[in-house]
């Protein structure tokens, strides 16, 4: 059963970089930007991660944390994070726990080949652990600015 807007994120426990285990309770007390991306060290995913990293202080000023998610291993994530100096944690979802919870595994086509993979998506979770906004089929250009704008609008009400 996937989480929908207005739902509280159900229980999970999953490995992340810096030897962390992230659970649903880590989403509470602040906003969380949970972004799903297809693969470490690919151009779009690197740009997206760098954009989130560049704007981290803007997000922190709005009481928001950023977490990146892909199916890559912790080892690949640690290398990716170190190579590009990402100032936030990356979650390794090889078992597709979060991918299924947020329904981001989609049929994709690449050079005529069909396969199941992560559809670039971002989710905004409020300080109570409730999903309040989602972006599906994300295009990397200007995406981080869109997320920041949405977060500012929500907090100004």
List 67's β-bridge partners, or say none.
34, 89
**Entry pTM:** 0.95
Q: What angle do CA 130, 71, 131 make, to 5 degrees?
A: 10
pLDDT reading at 1 higher than 80: no
As given in the structure block, the two tokens for residue 70 are 């892909």
As given in the structure block, the two tokens for residue 3 are 């989480």
Indicate the average pLDDT of the chain.
95
Catalytic residue, chosen from 3, 45, 90, 98, is 45
As a whole number, mean pLDDT of residues 101-121 equals 91
Confidence bin at 108 (pLDDT 50/70/90):
confident
Query: In whole angstroms, how far apart are CA 48 and each of 19, 82, 107, 111, 120?
Result: 23, 15, 21, 23, 10
pLDDT in tens, 17-38: 999 999 999 999 999 999 999 9
**pLDDT reported for residue 155:** 87
Domain boundaries, the chain: 13-155
pLDDT reading at 111 higher than 90: no
Which listed CATH number (3.40.50.620, 1.10.3720.10, 3.40.109.10, 3.40.30.10) goes with 13-155? 3.40.30.10
pLDDT in tens, 29-74: 999 999 999 999 999 999 999 999 999 999 999 999 999 999 999 9
Asked about 99 being catalytic, the answer comes back as no
């Amino acid at each position: 059963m996937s989480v929908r807007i207005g739902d509280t994120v159900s229980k999970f426990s999953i490995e992340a970089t810096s030897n962390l285990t992230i659970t649903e309770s880590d989403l509470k007390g602040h906003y969380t930007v949970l972004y799903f991306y297809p693969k470490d060290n690919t151009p779009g995913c690197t740009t997206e991660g760098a954009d989130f990293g560049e704007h981290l202080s803007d997000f922190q000023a709005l009481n928001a944390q950023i977490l990146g998610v892909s199916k890559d291993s912790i080892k690949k994530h640690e290398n990716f994070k170190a190579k590009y100096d990402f100032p936030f944690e990356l979650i390794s979802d090889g078992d597709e726990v979060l991918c299924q919870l947020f329904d981001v595994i989609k049929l994709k086509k690449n050079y005529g080949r069909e396969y199941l993979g992560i559809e670039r998506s971002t989710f905004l979770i409020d300080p109570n652990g409730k999903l309040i906004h989602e972006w599906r089929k994300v295009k990397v250009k200007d995406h981080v600015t869109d997320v920041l704008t949405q977060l500012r609008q929500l907090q100004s009400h």
